[in-house]
Amino acid sequence: MLNAAIRESVVKTMVRFPAVRSVSQPVNGVRPATSCSSCCLQGVCLPCGLASANLSDLDELTTVKRRIARGASLYRGGDEFDALYAVRSGAFKTVGVSRNGEEKITGFYLPGEVMGMDAINNERHNYSAAALEDSEVCVIPFARLTALTLRIPELQQQLFRLLSRDIARDHGLMLLLGSMTAEQRLAAFLLSLSRRYKRLGYAADRFMLRMTREDIGNYLGLTLETVSRLMSRFQRDGLITAQQREVEFKDFDGLMDMVGHW
Say which residues have a Cβ less than 8 Å from residue 244's Cβ, sequence separation at least 6. none
Residue 90 or 217: the one with the smaller Cβ distance to DNA is 217
Site track for a copy of itself across 175-194, x = CB under 8 A: x-xxx---------------
CB of 223 to a copy of itself, least distance (A): 11
Site track for a copy of itself across 109-138, x = CB under 8 A: --------xxxxxx---xx-----------
Residue 119 or 227: the one with the smaller Cβ distance to DNA is 227
CB of 19 to a copy of itself, least distance (A): 26
Residue 125 or 213: the one with the smaller Cβ distance to DNA is 213
Q: Which residues pair with 138 in a beta bridge?
A: 65, 86
Q: Contacts for 258-262 with beta carbons within 8 Å, 24 or more apart?
A: 258/183, 258/184, 258/187, 259/180, 259/184, 259/187, 259/188, 259/191, 260/184, 262/172, 262/175
Q: Tell me how many degrees the CA angle 73-161-167 measures, rounded to the nearest 5.
A: 60
Binding residues for a copy of itself (CB under 8 A): 96, 98-100, 102, 104, 106, 117-122, 126-127, 146, 149-150, 153, 156-157, 159-168, 170-171, 173-175, 177-179, 218-221, 260-262
